């Protein structure tokens, strides 16, 4: 998990998953998965592999920007996590499931996504 930079336009200072935008590539395969892998490396310096789709939702930011939020379960591959992109990330955290769900400042939508992820992950073990 990350604590978003206070400089961020949307949800600055809040706990979040790493995310970002999809680059325009023209005709392309696996663009969402590759975009996520790129964003995670750019923001926190680790390599991940997308394992499976979890869910999607949409919302409008405080500034009126429409966002489609797509959540995947991912597997850590390599690297040491740190706040690589200081304009986007203030801190990086490794939490256990219990520690994460016990965070008082966890937004409701994020808690819902985490509960879904833990449930799916437990079903594959």
Q: How confident is the model at residue 11 (pLDDT cuts 50, 70, 90)?
A: confident
Q: CB neighbours of 106 closer than 8 A, spacing ≥ 6?
A: 15, 100, 114
Structure tokens that stand for 115 in this block: 């509960």
What pLDDT shows up at residue 54?
Answer: 94
List, in sequence order, every residue forming a beta bridge with 78; answer none if it has no partner: 47
CATH code of the domain containing 58? 3.90.79.10
Pick from 20-34, 68-82, 102-116: least confident = 102-116
Taking Cα atoms as reference points, which of 20, 37, 32 lies closest to residue 79? 37
- By residue range, what is the domain housing residue 71? 2-124
Q: How many domains does the chain have?
A: 1
């Amino acid at each position: 998990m990350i604590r978003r930079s206070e400089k961020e336009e949307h949800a600055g200072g809040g706990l979040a998953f790493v995310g970002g935008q999809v680059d325009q590539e023209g005709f392309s395969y696996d663009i969402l998965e590759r975009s996520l892998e790129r964003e995670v490396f750019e923001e926190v310096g680790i390599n991940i592999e997308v394992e499976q789709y979890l869910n999607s939702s949409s919302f409008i930011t405080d500034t009126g920007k429409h966002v489609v939020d797509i959540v995947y379960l991912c597997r850590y591959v390599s690297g040491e996590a740190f706040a690589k992109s200081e304009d986007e990330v203030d801190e990086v955290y490794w939490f256990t499931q219990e520690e994460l769900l016990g965070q008082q400042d966890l937004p409701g939508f994020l808690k819902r996504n985490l509960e879904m992820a833990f449930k799916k992950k437990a079903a594959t073990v």
